[in-house]
Amino acid sequence: MAMAAQPTENEKQLDSPTYVEDREKAVFTPQSGDAMLNEHAHRGIDAEVANFFAQEHGEAIVIDDATNKRLRWMVHKRVLVVMVVTYFAQTLDKGTLNFASIMGIIDDTGLHGQQYAWLTTCLYIAVLVWEFPTNRLIQRLPIAKYLGVNIVLWGAVLACTAACTNFGGLLAVRTFLGIFETVCQPAFVFLATMWYTRAEQPLIIGSFYSMNGFQQCVGGLLAYGISQIEGQALKNWQILFTLLGCVTVVWGLFVLWWLPDSPMRAKCWSEEDKILIAERVRANETGIQNREFKMYQVWEALKDPLVWGVTLVSFTNGLPPGGLGAFSNIILSAFGFTRLQTYLLAIAQGAIIMALLFSAAWLSKRFSQRLLCGFLFTLPNIAGTIVFLTVTTRPETKVGLLLAFYCTQGFGAVAVLNLATMSGNIGGRTKQVIANSLVFVAWAVGNAIGPQVFQDREKPRYVGAFVAHIVVYSVQCVALLAMRALLMRRNARRRRLQPDETRTHKNAFDDLTDFENPDFRYVY
């Protein structure tokens, strides 16, 4: 029944235990002769994780509420702060072009036709091309170091935008900006699964994703202030790019110093607290890390309808804001608002995005209904888009059109719930890499197509663009409900085979996929 397996070099350093094979589970476990490792040296488990847990014999530790709260705040200070501020910087830096569009950058650089739209599209094409490589690098490299280096590089690229004088130069810097910013969302989803429980993940993902709204508030005020500067050597938009780029570089250097790569490598906490922080996420059944790329998990991801469901929603939810993000200030100006009024209205737009996003995250946690909440928060987008299609732009309708525009800002809420669905329901690190890559490639494709549906010949109403939005919102609603039905059916089947009270969470860090792990339960 048993056969010997050759341990790795890392495993030999742990007193070279003897391994036996469990043929039913197709994983290797150590025999009881090595008390330090006990059952943690599975061939599927990451060697660093196995070494880290060797001292506590593989038994789940019960953490009381007070300790759990203390540990959560420790993680917030080191991890959540970095996620929130970095995502704010990323969305502000990426969205700076929107504010620059009414500061004179179009005329100063001689943009015409669809060239302005291509400056947003090229960024997302870069994301599309670099998405899988950056996910693989996130799996292989120390995540904090990789993130910090990318932040420094995109800050430098952003500052260089101020030196551009034509479409070619802008196209180049926007493409490099997309490459370096690609790291953010997949890295943050990975950090959420590493440091937070599944119940906490919607609000954690919502916290950093809410920066899409907050950057509108701050960006509007910043653009308003810079637009008041007169008589300076640099143009207003050049000042904006230079200032934000330099601040981002400084922040990237701080992240390199402050953010721990993992609970195992965190030097800022005691050994006991590091063990407890890792134990907090044991019940997730999605592991902490694994650097090995496993082809069987690739095929499993590609055959999993859930992976394709969250990918489809990522595309349908990415297309509308891809266009609205680039053209929102142009659209608001077409409603009859002045340039300064448009800046100030962006603040209200950001506040609405944040309110919708946190409402969705809170409701999904309160009622344990992520996908149903996603469906409900798609409906205001549909309503606002219908108003755009049916109401003409006149002075007496501009307030109603403004309110309709605000109704279309629910995309952030749906994005958070979709990412939380992915992070909480995909087990196996390689399978997560593939799912992350597909989801963010689809998001990039949607955002790349989004500006192109706003054809210059259709302004200011852009009827064709809003018809396209109605279509993708309808597809999104169907996909969300179909995923919910799929996960409900999977859980029902698993509970018949293994009642919840018999779950042990012994395989939580063994890099098993959600299909392989009998303890895994889906959240929807």
Least confident of 276-285, 334-343, 512-521: 334-343
Query: What is the three-state SS of 3-68?
Result: CCCCCCHHHHCCCCCCEEEECCCCEEEECCCCCCCCCCCCCCCCHHHHHHHHHHCCCCCCCCHHHH
| pLDDT for 248 beyond 50 | yes
| pLDDT for 24 beyond 60 | no
CB-CB contact of 249 with 86 (8 Å): no
SS3 73: helix
What's residue 229's pLDDT?
A: 83
Q: Give the pair of three-digit tokens for residue 311.
A: 């990918």
In whole angstroms, what separates CA 413 from the centre of its chain? 12
In whole angstroms, what separates CA 108 from the centre of its chain? 34
Q: What is the pLDDT of residues 278-298, one digit of tens each?
A: 888 887 777 777 788 899 999
Q: Rounded mean pLDDT of 317-325?
A: 82
Residue partners of 297: CB distance under 8 A and separation at least 6: 428, 429, 430, 431, 434, 513
What's residue 6's pLDDT?
A: 43
Residue partners of 132: CB distance under 8 A and separation at least 6: 433, 437, 441
- The residue among 183 and 455 whose pLDDT is bigger is 183
| pLDDT for 416 beyond 80 | yes
Q: What is the pLDDT of residues 154-208, one digit of tens each?
A: 999 999 999 999 999 999 999 999 999 999 999 999 999 889 998 899 899 989 9
Q: Domain-by-domain residue ranges, the chain?
A: 68-282, 304-499+509-523
Q: At 34, is the pLDDT very low, low, confident or very high (cuts 50, 70, 90)?
A: very low
Q: What letter does residue 426 receive in the DSSP assignment?
A: -
What's residue 230's pLDDT?
A: 80
What's residue 33's pLDDT?
A: 31
Q: Where do the DSSP E strands lie in 409-488? A: none
CB-CB contact of 38 with 57 (8 Å): yes
Please compute Rg for the chain using Cα positions.
24
Half-sphere exposure of 206 (CA within 13 A, CB side): 25
Least confident of 85-99, 165-179, 274-288, 464-478: 274-288
Q: At 40, is the pLDDT very low, low, confident or very high (cuts 50, 70, 90)?
A: very low
> Rounded to the nearest 5 degrees, what angle is found at the Cα of 368, between the Cα atoms of 366 and 372?
110
- The residue among 367 and 330 whose pLDDT is bigger is 367
Q: At 308, is the pLDDT very low, low, confident or very high (cuts 50, 70, 90)?
A: very high
| pLDDT for 374 beyond 90 | yes
- DSSP secondary structure of 370-427: HHHHHHHTTHHHHHHHHHHHHS---GGGHHHHHHHHHHGGGHHHHHHHHHHHHHHH--
Q: At 12, is the pLDDT very low, low, confident or very high (cuts 50, 70, 90)?
A: very low
Least confident of 81-95, 108-122, 470-484, 501-515: 501-515
CB-CB contact of 318 with 123 (8 Å): no
What's residue 196's pLDDT?
A: 93
**Are 68-282 and 304-499+509-523 in the same CATH fold?**
yes
> Rounded to the nearest 5 degrees, what angle is found at the Cα of 98, between the Cα atoms of 339 and 341?
20
CA–CA separation, 236 and 301 (whole Å) = 48
Closest CA to 157 of 174, 138, 171: 174
Q: At 117, is the pLDDT very low, low, confident or very high (cuts 50, 70, 90)?
A: confident
| pLDDT for 31 beyond 80 | no
| pLDDT for 524 beyond 80 | yes
pTM given for the model: 0.79
CA–CA separation, 287 and 273 (whole Å) = 18
| pLDDT for 382 beyond 80 | yes
What's residue 23's pLDDT?
A: 29
What's residue 349's pLDDT?
A: 80
Length of the chain: 524
Share of the chain above pLDDT 70, in %: 85
What's residue 216's pLDDT?
A: 76
**304-499+509-523: which CATH topology?**
Growth Hormone; Chain: A; (1.20.1250)
What's residue 147's pLDDT?
A: 97
Pick the CATH number of 68-282 from 1.20.1250.20, 3.30.460.80, 3.30.365.10, 3.90.1150.10: 1.20.1250.20
- The residue among 277 and 37 whose pLDDT is bigger is 277
Q: At 55, is the pLDDT very low, low, confident or very high (cuts 50, 70, 90)?
A: low
| pLDDT for 10 beyond 60 | no
| pLDDT for 397 beyond 90 | no
Residue 349: count of CB within 10 angstroms of its CB: 24
